[in-house]
């Protein structure tokens, strides 16, 4: 006698049925698995942060990478990973993680600023990308003095003296004051 069952085996994951219409153990196990993964990712984030604070960057990167493997689209995970990569000196991986953070959260304050700063550090042809990132950050947050300061330095490096000085004035207007960078110092002496 063949027994019929209305529930899927526990080893299968749902494919097309809406969650509200299904009472199968597969759905229950699948949701519990997602919650478990999120909690594991949180643990990796906490370990990564603790390692970052103690300047154990290798452990920080490892923990953040494990969190990113679980939550690849999470902007905060990608942002934290990018900062650890940057501290490690791996600008290319930092850039990649910051692009993900900016892409997955349009309102993520500082993501475009940090991405612009990575491009600024890369120099050369990347300066134009840095300029665009700082402008994008300023469009989102028009009073972001630090972004104006960084934009000023990039513009000075690109030889755009007038625009550089205007950005520096805006930085000061919004409360960001810093020693003049080497690129700006040449203009201040004029």
57, part of any domain: yes
What is residue 180's predicted lDDT score, i.e. its pLDDT? Answer: 47
Q: Could you tell me the two tokens for 159?
A: 């030889």
Residues comprising the chain, all counted: 190
The secondary structure of 82-146 as a DSSP string is: HHHHHHHT-HHHHHHHHHHHHHH-TT-TTHHHHHHHHHHHH-TTHHHHHHHHHHHHHHH-TT-HH
How many separate domains does the chain show?
Answer: 2
What pLDDT, in 10s, does the model give residues 161-190?
Answer: 999 999 999 999 988 765 444 444 444 444
SS3 at position 33: helix
Give the torsion sign (CA, 94, 97, 103, 109).
Answer: negative
Other Cβ atoms less than 10 A from the Cβ of 75: the count is 20
What pLDDT, in 10s, does the model give residues 43-71?
Answer: 999 999 999 999 999 999 999 999 999 98
What pLDDT, in 10s, does the model give residues 27-38?
Answer: 344 455 588 888
Higher per-residue confidence, 165 vs 101: 165
Contact 82, 60 (CB under 8 A): no
* Domain housing 34: 28-105
Give the torsion sign (CA, 103, 104, 109, 113).
Answer: negative
Q: Could you tell me the two tokens for 160?
A: 């755009």
Contact 61, 97 (CB under 8 A): no
166, part of any domain: yes
Q: Which of 105, 125, 143 is the last residue of a domain?
A: 105
Shared domain for 41 and 114, answered yes or no, is no
Shared domain for 80 and 121, answered yes or no, is no
Shared domain for 89 and 158, answered yes or no, is no
1, part of any domain: no
Shared domain for 41 and 64, answered yes or no, is yes
What is residue 183's predicted lDDT score, i.e. its pLDDT? Answer: 46
Shared domain for 95 and 113, answered yes or no, is no
Whole-model pTM: value is 0.69
């Amino acid at each position: 006698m063949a027994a019929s069952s209305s529930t899927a085996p526990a080893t299968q994951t749902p494919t097309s049925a809406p969650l509200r219409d299904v009472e199968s153990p597969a759905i229950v196990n699948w949701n519990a698995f997602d919650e478990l993964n999120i909690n594991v990712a949180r643990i990796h984030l906490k370990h990564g942060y603790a390692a970052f604070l103690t300047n154990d960057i290798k452990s920080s990167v490892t923990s953040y990478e494990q969190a990113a493997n679980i939550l690849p689209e999470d902007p905060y995970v990608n942002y934290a990973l990018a900062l650890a990569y940057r501290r490690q000196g791996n600008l290319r991986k930092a850039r990649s993680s910051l692009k993900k953070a900016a892409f997955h959260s349009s309102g993520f304050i500082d993501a475009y600023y940090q991405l612009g700063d990575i491009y600024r550090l890369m120099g050369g042809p990347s300066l134009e990308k840095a300029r665009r990132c700082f402008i994008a950050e300023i469009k989102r947050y028009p009073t972001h003095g630090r972004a104006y300061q960084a934009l000023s330095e990039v513009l000075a490096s690109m030889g755009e003296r007038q625009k550089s000085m205007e950005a520096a004035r805006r930085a000061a207007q919004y409360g960001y004051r810093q020693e003049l960078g080497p690129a700006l110092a040449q203009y201040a002496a004029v």
